[in-house]
Amino acid sequence: MFVGIDPGATGGIAILDGQGRFVAAHRWKPKAPAILYQLLLTISGEICNGQVYLERIQAHPGEGLGHVVNNMTLVENYGLWQGFIIAAGLVPVLVHPTTWQVAHDLRNWQSKQKFNPRVLGPLDVARQKWPTAPLEFMADDGKAVALFLAALAHQDEARGLNRHILNQSREAKAKVLRQRARQKRRQEKKQGEIL
């Protein structure tokens, strides 16, 4: 099985089978999150490579108090989902929103809709792609995103791509670059003190 999770306030979890067919999708339940944790535990042995694709959150500071409150919920849910995944003995694979959007030809869909209202968003595309999925309401957009993340996991497996290892490699390279930048600043500071 392939699992995707959107950690947003109206987020959710979606499961696809080994062929990429719809199995299940559930909305985040803030008053009963343990139900979704139990779901993860139940299927943990069937998840491909033990990897769960979790949408990486993006901070957008300076957008007003309402946005800060929404971000708080997002940050809390993001942490809870990571904890659930790890506690279930699985590996969280963090996926940038742009990554799944590009993979499903949805890049910049919001700006495209401004100029052409017939451009479909993720929820409409997911309804077409998985007609049996419970995506009746606008608030099901998180389940749609989770479906796209699960589909990306399926695509990666078919291509032989291990996104978790790829992410670790990128993080290691970024760490080396940050260390070099710190060393360079220290050297420049020492040279400035000598002069």
Residue 96 confidence class, pLDDT cut points 50, 70, 90: very high
In this predicted model, what pLDDT tens digit does every residue of 62-82 receive, in sequence order? Answer: 555 455 555 777 888 999 999
In whole angstroms, give the CA distance from residue 165 to residue 172: 11
Q: What residues make up the domain containing 16?
A: 2-161
User: In this structure, are 101 and 193 located in the same domain?
Assistant: no
Residue 125's pLDDT band (boundaries 50, 70, 90)? Answer: very high
Say yes or no: 14 and 108 in one domain: yes
Q: Between the ranges 130-134, 160-164, 180-184, where is the mean pLDDT highest?
A: 130-134
Write down how long the chain is. 195
pLDDT of residue 16: 97
Three-state DSSP class for residue 8: coil
| CATH code of the domain covering residue 153 | 3.30.420.10
120 and 192 belong to one structural domain: no
Mean pLDDT of 98-103: 93
β-strand partners of 14: 4, 25
CB atoms within 10 A of CB 184: 10
Which token pair is 99? Answer: 């990554």
Residue 174 has pLDDT above 90, yes or no: no
Domain count, the chain: 2
Q: What is the pLDDT of residues 2-26, one digit of tens each?
A: 999 999 888 999 999 999 999 999 9
